[in-house]
Chains A and B, each alone.
Chain A
């Protein structure tokens, strides 16, 4: 799926991905993998789990999976399918008990909080339900709420920058990355290796994420990783 400002364009399913991108090879340029079911409306967690299971078979990095987790059994299914962490978004707000249950059973490091936001009149507004529903709580208060809830890490995702390839939302990242005492991963906007390097150099940012297909074409990812290492990014060196 190629997404732009959360409007999706279908590019292919897992078979397409395997055929065109040799996912296992791509994974050797990554530190972690995030797999999200971005289907609008009702999501089929069993179908998604089967995809995760197939995808992680020969991927030897931590895998976070989410999208459509509504009860503890959904999370359990994903863990049993090979996910090392699960990602929650809407239920963090609508059903925090689910987050607590996951934390109690699998530990806080196993829960990733996905935070989608759009900038409206100069202020970042948190959105849930696939970017459709705004929350009235301020970004600062929401991040604090997530920290108190006990989630293990934050994925900070700019809907405005999503899929544009214009670079990360530096202004808001600089403002919020240091506000929580847990890994802070930024997402939305990376179009090239300079964007990735620039994002990772921001104080408080632990990791940079990209879903933009253009970063996956050809040797895009290995080249980006080399570029970042050469320019002083603190990344693990693989053999």
Chain B
């Protein structure tokens, strides 16, 4: 099993890598080279930071087309984490309107509910969608660690798992080979390790 973490220079990839290794998958590397991404069995798209900056980095590296081909045509499994998950959507308004990778039908906007502390930081429970693979054999309504100011909304049938923070938003999605989580599984204890393992083994 060859796992490649897509490196576009944003975010703390150290804990993602150590989580994957901890689960016993030693063949994990960090790369933004097209040839390496193509050879991967599975991709992880991490990220912390500003959406506009992230998309411009991805475009500078000429990765949009590559990722779209690998994921949509070759059906290579991919897991987006936090900002990486948001990048997989259609667009975001963080740092002005920006188009995303367009791998999933969802848009990213700031939390709108007033009287809420933003960013949404800390552990919160999610409601896994029925027949979820990501949460397979994880106990009902598990807690995950969130830290974000923008969130994804979607009316489409994208295997949504929701989280409630003043309003319901997309905590994760899973369609065929495509998965994304708004929270940080690599910072969510056993619940997170189990989810990463599910992605590696069930996607």
User: Residues of A with Cβ closer than 8 Å to B?
Assistant: 28, 31, 56-58, 60-62, 79, 82, 84, 107-109, 152-153, 181-183, 206, 236-239
Asked whether A237 lies within 8 Å of B15 as measured between CB atoms, the reply is no
Given contact pairs A31-B123, A57-B18, A183-B122, enumerate 20 new A-B contacts (beta carbons under 8 Å): A31-B189, A58-B22, A60-B18, A60-B19, A60-B186, A60-B188, A60-B192, A61-B187, A61-B188, A84-B15, A84-B187, A108-B119, A109-B119, A153-B121, A181-B117, A182-B117, A206-B122, A236-B123, A236-B143, A239-B194
Q: Which residues of A contact B19 (CB under 8 A)?
A: 60
Interface of A is mostly: loop
Q: What string of 1s and 0s marks CB contacts (under 8 Å) between B130-165 and chain A?
A: 000000001100110101010000000000000000
Residue of B nearest to A206 (CB): B122
Q: Which residues of B contact A152 (CB under 8 A)?
A: 119, 121
Asked whether A56 lies within 8 Å of B139 as measured between CB atoms, the reply is no
Asked whether B119 lies within 8 Å of A238 as measured between CB atoms, the reply is no
Q: Which residues of B contact A58 (CB under 8 A)?
A: 18, 22
Q: Which residues of B contact A62 (CB under 8 A)?
A: 145, 147, 184, 187
Asked whether B123 lies within 8 Å of A239 as measured between CB atoms, the reply is no
Roughly how many angstroms separate A185 CA and B143 CA in the complex, as a whole number? 19
Q: Which of B18, B189, B191 gathers most chain A CB within 10 Å?
A: B189
Asked whether B191 lies within 8 Å of A238 as measured between CB atoms, the reply is yes
Asked whether A60 lies within 8 Å of B193 as measured between CB atoms, the reply is yes
Q: Which residues of A contact B139 (CB under 8 A)?
A: 237, 239
A60-B19, A79-B12, A183-B122 in contact; A238/B189 too (CB < 8 A)? yes
Q: Which of A56, A107, A181, A183 gathers most chain B CB within 10 Å?
A: A107
Residue of B nearest to A81 (CB): B14
User: Residues of B with Cβ closer than 8 Å to A?
Assistant: 12, 14-15, 18-19, 22, 117, 119, 121-123, 138-139, 142-143, 145, 147, 149, 184, 186-194
Roughly how many angstroms separate A118 CA and B139 CA in the complex, as a whole number? 44
Roughly how many angstroms separate A99 CA and B45 CA in the complex, as a whole number? 30
A60 to chain B, nearest CB (A): 6
Roughly how many angstroms separate A16 CA and B188 CA in the complex, as a whole number? 27
Residue of A nearest to B189 (CB): A238
Asked whether A237 lies within 8 Å of B142 as measured between CB atoms, the reply is yes
Roughly how many angstroms separate A238 CA and B190 CA in the complex, as a whole number? 6
Asked whether A236 lies within 8 Å of B187 as measured between CB atoms, the reply is no
Asked whether B189 lies within 8 Å of A183 as measured between CB atoms, the reply is no
B123 to chain A, nearest CB (A): 5
Asked whether B190 lies within 8 Å of A239 as measured between CB atoms, the reply is yes
Q: Which residues of A contact B122 (CB under 8 A)?
A: 183, 206
Q: Which residues of B contact A206 (CB under 8 A)?
A: 122
Q: Which residues of B contact A108 (CB under 8 A)?
A: 119
Asked whether B14 lies within 8 Å of A237 as measured between CB atoms, the reply is no
Q: Which residues of B contact A239 (CB under 8 A)?
A: 138-139, 190-191, 194
B141 to chain A, nearest CB (A): 9
Residue of B nearest to A58 (CB): B22
Asked whether A236 lies within 8 Å of B189 as measured between CB atoms, the reply is yes
Picked from B15, B119, B138, B147, the residue with its CB within 8 Å of the CB of A56 is: B15
What are 21 A-B contacts with C-beta separation under 8 Å?
A28-B189, A28-B190, A31-B189, A56-B15, A60-B188, A60-B189, A60-B192, A60-B193, A61-B189, A82-B15, A107-B119, A109-B121, A109-B147, A152-B121, A183-B121, A183-B122, A236-B191, A237-B142, A238-B189, A239-B190, A239-B191
Roughly how many angstroms separate A224 CA and B75 CA in the complex, as a whole number? 46
Asked whether A61 lies within 8 Å of B145 as measured between CB atoms, the reply is yes
Picked from B14, B123, B193, the residue with its CB within 8 Å of the CB of A82 is: B14
Residue of B nearest to A31 (CB): B123
B171 to chain A, nearest CB (A): 14
Roughly how many angstroms separate A109 CA and B22 CA in the complex, as a whole number? 27
Roughly how many angstroms separate A156 CA and B15 CA in the complex, as a whole number? 28
Residue of B nearest to A181 (CB): B117
Picked from A61, A84, A181, the residue with its CB within 8 Å of the CB of B12 is: A84
Roughly how many angstroms separate A28 CA and B193 CA in the complex, as a whole number? 12
